[in-house]
Structure 1
Amino acid sequence: MFLSLPLTNMLYFQLVIMAGTVMLAYYFEYTDTFNVHVQGFFCYDNAYAKPYLGPEESSAIPPALLYALVAGVPTLVIMISETVLFLIQYSSKELDSQEKTMLTGDCCYLNPLVRRTFRFLGVYTFGLFTVDIFVNAGQVVTGNLSPHFLTVCKPNFTALGCQHALRYISHQEACTGNQEDILRARKTFPSKEAALSIYAALYLASYITCTVKAKGTRLAKPVLSLGLMCLAFLTGLNRVAEYRNHWSDVIAGFVIGVAIATFLVVCVVHNFKGKLLLSEDPPQDNMPNAPMMNMSRVESPLEKYIASQIWAGADRGYMAVEPHYQESHHLR
C-alpha cells in the first residue's frame, strides 16, 4: 500500500504534464494566442522572390502524409516489436501469473508488456508535441520569411517608393496578397517538417538498434536505421527544393529534432532498457524469517573506540598474568 500510492501519484503527475504539453501545442498551432513577429524586407530582395509552388497540400510530401508516417510508423513498429519480444521471453520461462504482472497502483495491475509499450510510446508522443512546441515558438518569435514571401505578399513597389532596391519595408500593410498565405510565409524558421521527420527517424532508429538482439541483424539494423535517417534528410531537401524553407530553416529543424530525440532516448528511457518479465527472486518483504547474519551492518565510531579499549585492556591483563603463569609453571 505504501508503494502503490506514490506510483499512482506519479502516474497522475505524468498525465497532467502530457495534457499541459498537448494544450500548449494546440494553442501554438490552431489559435492566434501568440502573435507572429512581423519581419521587414528589402525591395526586390532575391532571397524572398522565389516562385510559389502552391499550398502545402500540393507538395511532394504533403503534411497529411508526413504526420501520418511520423505518428503511425513508430507506433506500429514499437507495438509489434514489444509483442514479439514478450512472447519469445514468455515462452522460454515458466513463471506464475503473479510474476507476470506489475503493481501500478492500489486499484489495478499492469502487464509488463503493456507497461513497456506505453512507456516507450508515451515518451515518443511527448517528444512529438515538444518538438512542435519548440518549432512553433521559434517561428512565432523570429517571423522569418520564406523564399517565396514576395510572391505571396504581392507588395506595390511603386507605392512603397522602391525606386532603390536597398529600401527597407517594415510595416505589415505593405502586402496585398492572401493573408493566410502571408502568415504561413512568415513562419519558416525552424522547419517543422524537418524537425518532426528527423525526430521520428532518430527515435525509431535508436529503438531498433537498442532493442532488437536477434541473430543475423548485425547488418540489417544499421541499414534500416540509416534508411530512416535518409528519408528524414530527403524531407528537408524537398522543403528547400520547393522553395518553402531556407537551408538555415531545415538545419535548425534538424538540430531541434536530434536534440530532443537524443535527450529522451538517453535520459528518459535509458536506451530502451527494461525487463519484459519480472525477476524470479522473491522480494525482501516476503522473507521475514531470513537469517539476520546476512544483513550488513555499519559500525559506528563510538563502538570502534569501545572495542579498541576493551581489546587494549585485555592485552594489558594478559601481559600482567603471563609472567606469574610462567613462574608457577617453572616451579612445578
Structure 2
Amino acid sequence: MAGARPQLKRSFSIIPCFVFVESVLLGVVVLLAYRLEFTDTFPVHAQGFFCYDSTYAKPYPGPEAASRAPPALIYALVTAGPTLTILLAELARAFFPAAPSAIPAIPESTIVSGACCRFSPSLRRLVRFLGVYSFGLFTTTIFANAGQVVTGNPTPHFLSVCRPNYTALGCSPPSRDHPGPDRFVTDQGACAGSPSLVAAARRAFPCKDAALCAYAVTYTAMYVTLVFRVKGSRLVKPSLCLALLCPAFLVGVVRVAEYRNHWSDVLAGFLTGAAIATFLVTCVVHNFQSRPASVRRLPAWDDLRPAPTVDSTLEKNPRPASRMRHRQGSPHPSRRAAPAVAT
C-alpha cells in the first residue's frame, strides 16, 4: 500500500558489523592491492627470453601516462561510471517506485539501531551495491597484480627497454642458417636498461587495465539488465549494455596497438574481471534483488490430504443375497443336495 507505514526492525549489530568486519576486510584488500602495485614487497618473477626474439622486440611506446588510454583516465571511468549509474538508479527507485512484481519477495524493513540511527531500504541497497563494487574493484586489482608478479611475462617492448648485451651473452644474430633465436637467456643481470622500466616491462599477464574495464562493464551491465524496467521497447537495455562494452573493448585494442600487451594478456584480463563481477552479482548481492519469499514446507505427516472417495457400485446396485452367499462360498441353488427321504 502506498500510504502504509514502513516496517521497523531493531538491530544492534549492524553498525559494529560494518565498522569492525566489513570496513576491516575492505581495508585489508586495499592495503594488499597497494603492496602489490606500488611496492617491491612481492618481487616480480624474472622470466627468461630468447636472443633476438621478435615477439618482445617491439619499439618502446613511452610511459603509461603518454598512452591514448592512460591509467588515470581508466581509473576515473571505472570508479565514476558505475557509481553514478547505481546512485541515480537507486534514487529514481526510491522516489518513483515501480509496480509490485508478480514474484513474491521479502519487503525490506527500515532498521533501527540504537536511539538515533535509522537505515532505510534505499540507503541499505545503495551502500550494499557500492560497497560490493568497491570490494570487487580492489579484488580485481589484486588478482591482476598477483598474476603479473607470479608469471613475469614480458611485454612486446621488453627487449627495447632491457637492452641486453648479446655479445657478452654469447648470442649470435639471426642468419639464413639460423633464422630464429638460438639461445634462451636466464641471467638475472642480462638487462642493461633502467631497472624500473625493466620491472614494469615484466608485468604483462594478465592486463590489469583490461581486467578493471571488464569488471566495471560487467557489473554495470548486469545492474542495468536486472534492475532497470523499461516499458515499450526491448532494445533500450541491450543498447546501453553494448555502449558500455565498447570502451572496454577499445582499451584492449589500444593496449595491443601500442605494444604494451599481447592479445593473450588482454583476453586473460577480460576473463578475470568478468568472472569476478559475475560471481559477486550472482552470489553476494543476489542479482540486485531481494530474496524470494520462502514457502514453509509442511512435514510429511502434516501434508497428508484426504484421498478422493469414489462411490462404489455395490452401494448403488447391491447384489442379491443369494449371489452374495454364492460369492462367500455357499453352493449354487441348483446343486444343493436333495433332502433325505425316510424309508
TM-score band by shorter chain is: 0.7 to 0.9
Distance 1:166 1:105, change over 3 A: farther
Contact conserved, 1:194 with 1:232, CA < 8 A, in 2?
Answer: yes
1:85 maps to which residue? 93
Which one of 239, 264, 267 corresponds to residue 223 of structure 1? 239
Determine if the alignment matches structure 1 residue 10 to structure 2 residue 17. Answer: yes
Determine if the alignment matches structure 1 residue 201 to structure 2 residue 217. Answer: yes
Counterpart CA distance in 2 for 1:242 and 1:194 is 14
1:34 maps to which residue? 42
Instruction: Provide Cα deviations, 1:36-92, integer angstroms capped at 9, x if missing partner.
Output: 000111100000001111111111111000100000011011101110111002999
Looking at CA atoms only, which structure, 1 or 2, has the larger radius of gyration?
2
3-state SS, counterpart of residue 109 of structure 1: strand
Distance 1:216 1:59, change over 3 A: farther
Instruction: Provide Cα deviations, 1:308-331, integer angstroms capped at 9, x if missing partner.
Output: xxxxxxxxxxxxxxxxxxxxxxxx
Counterpart CA distance in 2 for 1:296 and 1:44 is 70
Contact conserved, 1:131 with 1:257, CA < 8 A, in 2?
Answer: yes
Runs (4+) of structure 1 exceeding 3 A deviation are: 5-10, 104-107, 295-301
2:265 maps to which residue? 249
Q: Which amino acid aligns with 2:245?
A: M
The percent of aligned pairs where both chains have the same amino acid is: 52
Question: TM-score of the superposition, structure 1-length normalised?
Answer: 0.77
Q: Which amino acid aligns with 1:89?
A: P
RMSD: 2.9
Shift of 1:106: 3.4
Contact conserved, 1:191 with 1:250, CA < 8 A, in 2?
Answer: yes
Counterpart CA distance in 2 for 1:242 and 1:159 is 30
Instruction: Provide Cα deviations, 1:78-124, integer angstroms capped at 9, x if missing partner.
Output: 101110111002999xxxxxx99621633521122211111111111
1:1-332 counterparts in 2 under 5 A?
A: 4-11=11-18, 12-89=20-97, 102-103=110-111, 105-106=113-114, 108-163=117-172, 165-274=181-290
Counterpart CA distance in 2 for 1:103 and 1:268 is 20
Shift of 1:151: 0.4
* Structure in which a larger fraction of residues adopt helix: 1
Distance 1:215 1:91, change over 3 A: closer
Instruction: Provide Cα deviations, 1:129-179, integer angstroms capped at 9, x if missing partner.
Output: 000000010000000000000001111111211126311111221111111
Counterpart CA distance in 1 for 2:59 and 2:251 is 19
Contact conserved, 1:101 with 1:111, CA < 8 A, in 2?
Answer: yes
Q: Which amino acid aligns with 2:218?
A: L
1:317 maps to which residue? none
Question: What is the number of residues matched between the two proteins?
Answer: 278
Counterpart CA distance in 2 for 1:38 and 1:255 is 25
